[in-house]
Structure 1
Amino acid sequence: MVVVLLVAGTLLTAGAAALIANRVIISFRDPRFRNPNWLTRQAAESEIYTPRDIPRLVGVRELATRQLRLTLSRGTTARAWHLFRDGEDLGETRHADITFSDDCDGTGTTVGTLFRLEPRGGNAPTLQLRIFFYPQSSYQAAGLSWPNAYILQESNIAVSYPQCPGFSIQDWVGLHPRDPAIARARAAMEGEVDFAAPYLERQEALFLFLMRHISHLSHLPDDKLLNSSPWDTWVKMRDGQHGFCECKALIYYLFANAAGLPTRLIDLQGSIGAMVLTGHYLCETWLPNEQTWAMVDPHTRNLALVRDPEGRPLHTLALKKRYDLNHLGGCTIRQYDPVTATLVTRPLTDLSPDTMNWLCGPLIIGYKFGYPLNHNFSRLYTFLHRPTLLYSSLALPNPRRHLTTAIALIIAGLLLLTISLLLTT
């Protein structure tokens, strides 16, 4: 009996551990996202675009009929709140409490009540929410046993479940602050990029610096360039070698983070059999004043920024949604003009259709945590805790579920080994 348990435990533990090790090696053999594998999982838009280190609304509790208490994410504080309801000054409250008027009974207009909460002290932002209230009494009159309904119609703050905090901005960057490539990139930009300038001004200066120092033409790179680190990619392209979207995105990713502009890599790929869905590589830079990720495409489109008709920066998924709905009118771009060597503002619709074809069809967008060829990049930690998150309108296969099975087998094997050792003593 002891021998059977010992052999079974050894086989389970060693076999599952070997399988995980094999998948770690295979997953990082190619630093690019190709198709769903053990290093990827499908994710919701909020997990991808709502960093855990920004203020979020994570809970709402009903104190009494028509009265709610809002709970913000951990670390978001205020000494008190000044409350306004549809412009009416209701004074200060200790907590983020909102109260609906007595004549708010769910009849008549379906436009909710607009609440504005201005923080006093602390680091919390001003909150503005429009909520429609439908009372329990109106449900009861219709023969329904439903509770009071509070329907959120507008919010200037992200909403998330407290159990799903997502990832921090630094998680997405995936670059160690002491990575030697950071210091080299800062030295290369010295005198041309003001690291103390406001974010947008700094981002444009950085973009101009890169556009003026690397070729904006598109050529297929060789394997040696494709397998280079972001810094080595910069050195090769600075010295005249041509590359395509991935090479330029890696360079922007490194230099933007070196300039203090948190930036992550976006890898669009995926295939169904022999048919590739799309292929492109770009970046998103976090803009703290706008509290959003902004798409940057340093390839042949030379796009430093894309804005919607209201002037808000667009991220990759927002641009994809507008493309699918044919709502690109009114959007503008900040684009590098190689003739004048400056950034100019143009309508997004000025781009030729063939330069936008990477947005066509059912995409798989891969959001990466750092880059495997970065210094101090932990492949095992990334494999276990930070898989590439995939967004797609398609229901994607989930090979990563086998990781849970493999870990369970290791635990079962260790348990059998423990039992066998106890039986021998």
Structure 2
Amino acid sequence: MLLATPGHCLFPLRRIHKPYSLSRTRTTRFCCRASLNLITNSDSFEVGRLIGSYGFMNITSSSGSPLGADAEYSSGDVGRLRVQDVGEGSVKIRLYDGRVSQGPLRGTPVVFKVYPGQRAGGNEADMMAANELNAHLFLQNNSNDICQNLVLLIGGFETKTGEQWLAFRNHGKASAADYAKVMSERVSKTRADGGQVWNNFEQEETIKRRRYFVTKLLQGIMRGLAYMHDRERLHQSLGPASVILNTIVERDAVYLVPRLRDLAFSVDIGYTKLEGDPGLLSDGLWRRASTAGAFTPMEKRAFGIADDIYEAGLLLAYLAFLPFCEAGIMDGLSLQRLLESTFQLDIGATREYCLADDRLLDAVNFLDLGDGAGWELLQAMLNPDFRKRPTAQAVLNHRFMTVGSL
């Protein structure tokens, strides 16, 4: 299951707050279809096996990481994840294998993302499907300027029962979460088999490959995010399950191309949009912006970008720890609580704590590269004051984003 929060969670949780006009959703969807020559005839596709499914969670109280330059906060403020009323949402997404069966793209493998019809998923599912479709249409509107770090939408259709089937080019089925899980299990097996007598040279080479792979993974994530931000779009669901990989084989890292997916909660931050109706899917974002003191269109835009950067910072922490630790030592939510609640976003204190635990040593050493460059970048991305967080491009230019490749 894909988990998430209105803002700051490794697995994004989103809440739908108000009823939505289904007719307006569909008008937007069909109007946009004609603009990109998408394949919209269901007969042009063949559907294969069910790959899996996931859901979204509802959060019924406001989230509250400390934001703002003068914010005073306690552990209760930072750790509101522990006291939020969280429940399972009604929208369940299914994924299927498939391929294009007709036309110039015949034989192209696809992955179908299926949103339930109104009867099963309510208006929220229709709204999410339309938002994801429109986000991809906008980001793909220039065939000469398509980012390789975003999944590519090639078509879709609506069934008689109202289900929305979005067809994406099959760039791989493993996510960053899958990669972290496989690597942590491999660490556990290796240490159980060899313990301290593990060949030192082999261990060093494995760590070097892992650092290189994770660095390439982070670079791809930030390139995708920078591309979106440059085009006035927020992701707003960034987490390990929202990054698809074409390989999880670390020896093939040179061929790795991470791609961002799950744009159902993407937000348009163009100034004309910010001055008008913001849209119901971004309601939670702008309420948090107001709490942080961001009211004007310029301030709200800056807050939204910084909010995505915060999520990217949590994802950086996840990828710096989980692939380097034994299975069960650390998980996404525990890591988030450690950063936000236990140490109140004091990354220096977090490092001292982790340094005392030998099981976390490889992760600490990774973030220590470049004279502590990883910790420095993490502190910047998770800065409690949203105004002081770096842009996605600045993150890409940070020395930590290259030091793991050396």
Q: TM-score range by the shorter chain?
A: under 0.3
Normalised TM-score (structure 2): 0.26
Instruction: Give the TM-score of the pair, scaled to structure 1.
Output: 0.25
